[in-house]
Structure 1
Amino acid sequence: MRGFEARGDVAVAELDSEERAVVARVIADVGLLLDGESFGMEREQHEDAEEELFRHLRGFEAALSDPEDPAVLRILPNAAPTDREVADEFRRLTEPELRATKVDRLRVMWRALSEDGPEWEVAADQAMATAAALTDVRLVLAARLGLDTDEDAEALHRELEMAERAVATGDASNLAVDPERIWLGMLYQALSWLQESLMTYVMRDDV
């Protein structure tokens, strides 16, 4: 995986076929979380994919079906946490349009990652929308990983470092860490890094 770099009038990242498939799958799952029917066709296209590639997403996908999903509040937070009546009314008035906007952004990313070839191109005028969509995906992953504070994020980072050392030394079988958590944590970090590289592109001086 290579982060976004300016290439002419577009930002370009590079992901191999497995990386593209996994990121596209998670994007589709977050789209399902926001609008259950919008990504149905896309999910069907993954059914024949190699099961091993997506096996650590099983728990992630199952959790998305929960109608009380806490991840929804990460990407569609209450406007007035201390006033339920105001929060419900604000949500009623604004949520449909906000959901539609977020789903549209996710769909653009999904389509780009579903194209053949390693390059993921983002036009300059789509860079901020893409960064916002990546934020939504990262917030859902953060909810799944229980990342509520900076300390939680630091603890995850330590777990990932331990896992990497264990794999490097051939001692992974003795590591008492949930492999699904490690896998999702690595995905979370990779998407964070991609988003940072995209924001570096947005903030570059030669525009």
Structure 2
Amino acid sequence: MHKFKRRGGVISTDLSADEVGMLESLLHELIDLIGEGTGEAGSAGDADDPFAAWAEELADDQPVEPPDDPVLRRLLPDAYPDDPKASAEFRRFTDRTLRRKKITDAEVALGHLAATEGGRQDLRIPVEEVDSWLRVLTSLRLAVAGRLGITDNVTADEIASIPEDDPRSFLVSVYDWLGFAQETLVLAL
């Protein structure tokens, strides 16, 4: 992958077949993880009828507890970390919408990746859809960081210095690659 470049209303880069495959795999895993237990996996819900979605959300009057998975806790954080009851109540009104938004962003990215024909064509992102890419790259990076145990700059530095024969080294390279993609995408704006 080279740096993203902007030409008019499109930001583009070239991706190898391996990079396309890796991103597609990560995005599918993200969709499955975010949609787990919600009926949202693989689908952004009925975006054409927001009133039906609101009615469904309001019909459920039970607070929503934070997820058990540490990666999901990073992707869907508590609004009030010091007040679990308020966080659960807030989550009741926001959890489904946030999950749907993250799934929709991943689906936008998957659509653009499909258009590369496995890396044979450049990845082309219309400027008006770059925000979806930035959000999904952030989500992917947070997910990988969660699996690596990166919680702050100190743990990030520790993980960055692991030897190449460490089983986590490939995941560290994915984390770094996602950071490069994020940075060059922002700079291309």
Band the TM-score falls in, shorter-chain normalisation: 0.7 to 0.9
Kept after mapping to 2: 8 A contact 1:16/1:118: no
- Deviation, 1:118, is 3.9
The corresponding residue for 2:69 is: 69
The corresponding residue for 1:43 is: none
Task: List runs of 5+ in structure 2 lacking aligned partners.
Answer: 44-66
The corresponding residue for 1:147 is: 150
> Runs (4+) of structure 1 moved beyond 2 Å?
36-40
The corresponding residue for 1:157 is: 160
Alignment partners' CA distance in 1, 2:18 and 2:114: 11
One-letter amino acid of the structure 2 residue matched with residue 135 of structure 1: T
The corresponding residue for 2:5 is: 5
Alignment partners' CA distance in 2, 1:189 and 1:114: 23
The corresponding residue for 1:186 is: 173
Alignment partners' CA distance in 1, 2:99 and 2:86: 19
Matched, 1:82 2:82: yes
Kept after mapping to 2: 8 A contact 1:17/1:118: no
Alignment partners' CA distance in 2, 1:139 and 1:38: 19
TM-score w.r.t. the length of structure 1 is: 0.73
Matched, 1:21 2:21: yes
- Deviation, 1:129, is 2.2
One-letter amino acid of the structure 2 residue matched with residue 199 of structure 1: V
Q: What value does the CA root-mean-square deviation take over the aligned residues?
A: 1.5
Alignment partners' CA distance in 2, 1:118 and 1:139: 28
CA deviation profile, 1:148-180 (whole Å, cap 9, x unmatched)? 110111122222xx42xxxxxxxxxxx4x12xx
Q: Which has the larger share of helix?
A: 1
TM-score w.r.t. the length of structure 2 is: 0.80
- Deviation, 1:185, is 0.9
**Helix, strand or coil for the counterpart of 1:39?**
coil
Matched, 1:125 2:128: yes
